[in-house]
């Protein structure tokens, strides 16, 4: 995450700027259950599935694992879009 920046506002703005209208529309599709299963599958395959652990006492994650993790952090944008969609739906356009 340090690659995006350290200040939370900076990271948030960078992630928001990367969201395309097409992504926003796509991410708002489906149900909350669909979204939960999608997140579960991502965590199962990319995070918890088979982390590349070293054989020694100290565990090290390889560059591929770190790269996948950085990509998954960007998926926070998807969660933000979905939360905004739910709030806007529940509270109306005001």
Overall average pLDDT of the 43-48 stretch = 72
Close Cβ partners of 67 (under 8 Å, ≥ 6 residues apart)? none
What is the pLDDT at residue 11?
79
* pTM score, whole prediction: 0.66
What is the pLDDT at residue 86?
94
Residue-range domain boundaries for the chain: 39-94
CB of 8 closer than 8 Å to CB of 80? no
Going by C-alpha positions, the residue among 87, 88, 76 that lies closest to residue 12 is 76
Average pLDDT, rounded, for the chain = 81
Q: Is the pLDDT of residue 9 over 80?
A: yes
């Amino acid at each position: 995450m340090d690659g995006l920046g350290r200040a939370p506002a900076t990271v948030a703005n960078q992630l928001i700027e990367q969201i395309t209208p097409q992504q926003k529309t796509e991410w708002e599709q489906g149900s909350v259950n669909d979204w939960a299963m999608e997140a579960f599958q991502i965590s199962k395959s990319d995070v918890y599935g088979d982390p590349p652990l070293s054989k020694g006492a100290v565990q090290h994650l390889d560059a591929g694992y770190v790269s996948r993790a950085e990509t998954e952090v960007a998926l926070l944008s998807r969660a933000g879009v979905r939360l905004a969609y739910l709030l806007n739906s529940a509270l109306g356009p005001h």
